[in-house]
Chain A
Amino acid sequence: MNQEVVIEAKKLSLTFETNDGPVHALKDVDLTINKGDFVSFIGPSGCGKTTFLRVMADLEQPTGGEISVNGMTPEEARLKRAYGYVFQAAGLYPWRTIGGNIRLPLEIMGYSKAEQAMRVDEVLELVHLDGFAKKFPWQLSGGMQQRASIARALSFDADLMLMDEPFGALDEIVRDHLNEQLLELWAATNKTICFVTHSIPEAVYLSSKIVVMSPRPGRVTDVIESTLPRERPLDIRESQEFLDIAHRVREGLRAGHGDD
């Protein structure tokens, strides 16, 4: 299979200068992400997983090493709107309807009115929110709001989706449901997805590749290529294969904590 590289990081480091001295958020991170991968970043707080995502998005500047996004620098990629970013909170504008919120990036990017309307309908359908375009955010549940924010990130059809714990604030049942839908969406759109999470089952269930990270300094301790098939019913989580991968993730996390 022809593997097209989307993200390539070499010896990537990022040090924050704080009043209490330097904090090594990322240290010598090497990572390659191929087109169509679903990559989860997992690790305890402070391991730099969100920082890594933010570096890809050009929201933070690395202090050492190199990183390319679609063969460009993160800044060029951002200016070309090469990725959609989903934040931890839905962050919908309360004064805009759901449709209006999804339309916002399209308006900013200068799509025609007709194209805007078409794309809004399209992505609303993708996240199963058709018929909610005229509702205001407060009329939707937390899970639906997060789906709307995913639809917004999808609307301008970037190949790369960066998701920073998008389901972190939701309860288990809603989360399961959204995970299933996210896989469905991944299969339907064949996008490259980078997904930050705290949850081992979530990471194993979703990913084709799991990046285990450890804190102080933030670094990659293990990269696990998932052997699970792409088609994943929820009960795959009780299979031996699933548990084996989860076990390996847990081992990786524990190893990272050894030097605390």
Chain B
Amino acid sequence: MWQKFGPVLTVVLAIFALWYVMAVVMNANWAYDKAKRADVELGFSELVVDTWSQKKPRLPAPHQIAEELWNTTAMKSITSKRSLVFHSWITLSSTLLGFAMGTVLGILLAVGIVHNKAMNLSVMPWVIASQTIPILAIAPMIIVVLNAVGISGLVPKAVISMYLSFFPVVVGMVKGLRAPDAMQMDQMRTWNASKWTTFWALRWPSSVPYLFPSLKIGVAAALVGAIVAELPTGAVRGLGARLLAGSYYGQTIQIWSALLMAAALAAALVMVIGQIEKYALRKMGMAR
């Protein structure tokens, strides 16, 4: 057990220790200010207690965030606008839709790039260029343009998720679909196999080990996309909206709890894909 969890546990404990220390350091000024105004002398233990329990600390202590998370998840009905589960679901739904769209788009582009010479030469530079544009700059435009043609709600957010998540899929799948070597391609030729057959029997299965790592990056990017999409729209629902509202009113605890929720969500999504990957590779006889 120690072999497996020891190192992880050590690192987690170290992070918590550092976190609590930094909470004292970063919130000390405010504590001293308050003490000065109340004209009291602040001892070390009182300082620590104060810095770990401020209402709007610069850096909230872990237990404050844990408490906020508990109050906004377990203690609230999930349909409540103050429930973090509700906001997570809003963000998750556009993440998943955008991720699905991005995956399909990425695979289609990769298939085109591998099979079509013109696409091979022309598409890849655009794909790369698309990722050099800051998403924060392009997100409002996407939303405005889609709104203008009457599309609003979930889809514009999903489009931004797609914009971020298709890229790793294209790159991974181009590599994966080209994984068969010259000998394997020659062999298909000796059997007079069609392009179609070669694709389904050889290229597609060869690309599976490349697909899943791309999907893991893609799903995390899709989540970032969904959160970013909520920022410029002035959305009132979703983790992005929580982050934005928190920063308007200086609710650091709310910001941190939304951040942690987003991180947990990303971790969960990546783990789910990891499990599917394991299952698929075992099914295909490629995991030993």
Contacts and interface: CB of A to CB of B under 8 A. Distances in A.
Interface stretch (A2-10, A86-94, A181-189, A225-233): A86-94
Contact of A59 (B184, B190, B288): B190
A97 B284 CA distance: 9
A227 B285 CA distance: 48
Contacts, number: 51
Interface residues of A, number: 25
A91 B192 contact: no
A43 B186 CA distance: 23
Interface stretch (A101-109, A120-128, A235-243): A101-109
B193 interface: yes
Main secondary structure of the interface of B (DSSP, over half): helix
B71 interface: no
Contact of A87 (B183, B202, B205): B183
B77 interface: no
Main secondary structure of the interface of A (DSSP, over half): loop
B18 interface: no
A138 B288 contact: yes
Contacts of B191: 81, 104-105, 108-109
Given A59-B190, A95-B285, A89 B201 contact: no
Interface string B150-187: 00000000000000000000000000000000011011
Given A91-B184, A104-B201, A108-B197, A57 B190 contact: yes
B148 interface: no
Contacts of A91: 183-184, 187
B278 interface: no
Given A79-B192, A81-B192, A109-B191, A93 B183 contact: no
A191 interface: no
A59 B187 CA distance: 9
Contacts of A105: 191
Contacts of A89: 183
A165 to B, nearest CB: 12
B288 A87 contact: no
Contacts of B201: 93, 104, 107-108
A78 interface: yes
Contacts of B186: 59, 85, 87
Given A57-B190, A78-B192, A108-B191, A95 B286 contact: yes
A93 B205 contact: yes
A132 interface: no
Given A79-B192, A136-B285, A138-B288, A93 B187 contact: no
A94 B288 CA distance: 11
A97 B187 contact: no
B176 to A, nearest CB: 13
A205 interface: no
Given A108-B197, A136-B285, A138-B288, A95 B205 contact: yes
A38 interface: no
Interface in B202-249: 202, 205, 208
Interface in B239-288: 284-286, 288
Nearest to A88: B183
A138 B286 CA distance: 9
Most buried by A among B184, B192, B205: B192
A108 to B, nearest CB: 5
Interface of B: 183-184, 186-187, 189-193, 197, 201-202, 205, 208, 284-286, 288
21 contacts: A59-B186, A59-B189, A59-B190, A78-B190, A79-B192, A81-B191, A83-B190, A85-B190, A89-B183, A91-B183, A93-B202, A95-B284, A95-B285, A95-B286, A96-B285, A104-B201, A107-B201, A108-B197, A109-B191, A109-B192, A136-B285
| 3 cross-chain pairs, A with B, having the tightest CB-CB distances, nearest first | A95-B284, A136-B285, A85-B190
